[in-house]
Amino acid sequence: MGGQGMETRAREVRVIDISDFEHRKAEIAEALWAASVEIGFFQVSGHGIAPDDISAAFHRAEQFFDLPRETKARWPLARNSGWEHKAQIRPSTRTPDQKESYQVTRPRMEGLWPGEEELPGFKQATLNFERQCWQVGMKLLSCFAYKLGFDAEFFTRAHNPDLPGYQSTLRMLHYFATDPALKHEVGLWRAGAHTDFDCLTLLFQRAGQGGLQVLPGKDAASEQWTPVDPVEGVITCNIGDMLTRWSDDQLPSNFHRVRNPLPHEYQGARYSLAFFCQANEDALIEGPDKKYPPITGAEYLRQRISANFSNKY
Ligand SMILES: O=C(O)CCC(=O)C(=O)O
Ligand SMILES: [Fe+2]
């Protein structure tokens, strides 16, 4: 899994238009389900988040990462909140991801926000963007609820942002600029191969800053990775492990990674924004056919994170 593998365009990451959602919900649900079963990834357009809001969110992330290292170090990562720098070592690669990230999990942000003197308006604007992401996430999850035979609000209740056990997370990511002449960068990954722990990930990428690849389960043996190209304005989405379990394994959570740029590609920094829909601590995860014993959202994340990052939670 840590090897280079091959890149293929034999599979398509579909763009699914979710505009006019209330009227088209059944049709949208079918399209989301088909893409998810096929590849575990899809991109949505017509999601209602304005392009200016997305640009502003990227701008805020750049401003945050431009702060001095000592300043960012005042907000260290704990339980999916705060800042880390080259701290994520993936079992697949055993090397630290070449990135820094800042995570926002609403109930766990005490002492972890930049002050008004450092980044004016940052906290409120970030929370507003987080809420917009949550809204899109809940729309998409309501389609999966429909297909799984749960009521439309089932996953919205399980991701209630007003409860102290809320654990959905907005993550800003900054992958460092690369230099192909630097030998010590050979074999490193911007993000090593992994699956996500959550139900559903919403990812914003920027045009010209590619490198994300997915390995659909069906192609695992051949290591044929499919590129997930950045398309301005769409949200790239993928199924995470929690929804795989909640769907009794009907929906696959697939391996993905971010490779370094090739020598002829743009070597500058890469920024991305991810929103992880992670069910609340006390939500009970149990599939329609009860294939696995019920487990709470808190216990599920604890198990997955400690298995992967030797208690970096
Ligand atoms: O930055 C990206 O494109 C992917 C990030 C990712 O997979 C993650 O943070 O889980
Ligand atoms: Fe991921």
222: tokens are: 């051949």
Percentage of residues in the chain with pLDDT exceeding 90?
Answer: 78
* Residue 312 pLDDT level (bands cut at 50, 70, 90): very low
The helix/strand/coil state of 206 is coil
Ligand 1: residue whose CA is nearest its atom 9:
274
**How would you classify the pairing of strands 235-239 and 169-175?**
unpaired
| pLDDT tens profile 263-306 | 889 999 999 999 999 999 999 999 999 999 999 999 999 998 77
Q: Is 61 in the pocket of ligand 1 (CB under 6 A)?
A: no
**How would you classify the pairing of strands 255-258 and 212-215?**
antiparallel
Q: Is 196 in the pocket of ligand 1 (CB under 6 A)?
A: yes
Q: In the predicted model, what is the mean pLDDT of residues 95-122?
A: 95
Q: Which ligand is nearest to the CA of 205?
A: 1
Report DSSP state, residue 118: T
Mind giving me the DSSP string for 34-76? Answer: HHHHHHSEEEEE-----HHHHHHHHHHHHHHHTS-HHHHTTSB
Ligand 2 centroid, distance to 284 Cα (angstroms): 23
| Atom of ligand 1 lying closest to residue 212 CA | 3
Q: How far apart are CA 146 and CA 137, in angstroms?
A: 14
Q: In the predicted model, what is the mean pLDDT of residues 84-103?
A: 88
291: tokens are: 């294939």
Q: Are 189 and 158 in contact (CB under 8 A)?
A: no
**pLDDT exceeds cutoff 80 at 184:** no
Q: Which ligand is nearest to the CA of 212?
A: 1
Q: How far apart are CA 18 and CA 31, in angstroms?
A: 10
Mutate to test the pocket of ligand 1, among 212, 237, 301 (most ligand atoms within 8 A of CB): 212
Q: How many CB atoms lie within 10 A of CB 208?
A: 11
Ligand 1 centroid, distance to 268 Cα (angstroms): 17
Beta strands in 48-114 (DSSP E): 82-85, 99-104
pLDDT score for 311: 42
pLDDT score for 195: 94
Q: In the predicted model, what is the mean pLDDT of residues 26-37?
A: 98
| Atom of ligand 1 lying closest to residue 99 CA | 1
Mutate to test the pocket of ligand 1, among 173, 196, 253, 255 (most ligand atoms within 8 A of CB): 173
| pLDDT tens profile 237-262 | 999 999 999 999 999 999 999 999 98
Q: How far apart are CA 163 and CA 60, in angstroms?
A: 26
Least confident of 2-6, 53-57, 183-187, 241-245: 183-187
Q: Is 281 in the pocket of ligand 1 (CB under 6 A)?
A: no
Q: In the predicted model, what is the mean pLDDT of residues 167-195?
A: 87
Percentage of residues in the chain with pLDDT exceeding 70?
Answer: 96
| Atom of ligand 1 lying closest to residue 256 CA | 7
Looking at per-residue pLDDT, the higher value among 180 and 78 belongs to 78
Q: In the predicted model, what is the mean pLDDT of residues 121-133?
A: 98
**pLDDT exceeds cutoff 70 at 161:** yes
Which distant-in-sequence residues (6+ apart) come within 8 Å of 150 by Cβ? 288
**pLDDT exceeds cutoff 80 at 190:** yes
**pLDDT exceeds cutoff 70 at 2:** no
Query: Is the reported ipTM for this assembly greater than 0.85?
Result: yes
Q: In the predicted model, what is the mean pLDDT of residues 158-173?
A: 98
Burial category of 160 from C-beta neighbours within 10 Å (exposed 0-12, middle 13-18, buried 19 and up): middle
Mutate to test the pocket of ligand 1, among 201, 203, 228, 237 (most ligand atoms within 8 A of CB): 203
List residues, by chain if needed, whose CB lies under 5 Å from ion ligand 2. Answer: 196
Ligand 2 centroid, distance to 143 Cα (angstroms): 21
The average confidence (pLDDT) of the chain is 93
Identify the structural domains of the chain with CATH numbers, from first to last: 27-306 (2.60.120.330)
Ligand 2 centroid, distance to 117 Cα (angstroms): 32
219: tokens are: 């192609």
Ligand 1 centroid, distance to 235 Cα (angstroms): 12
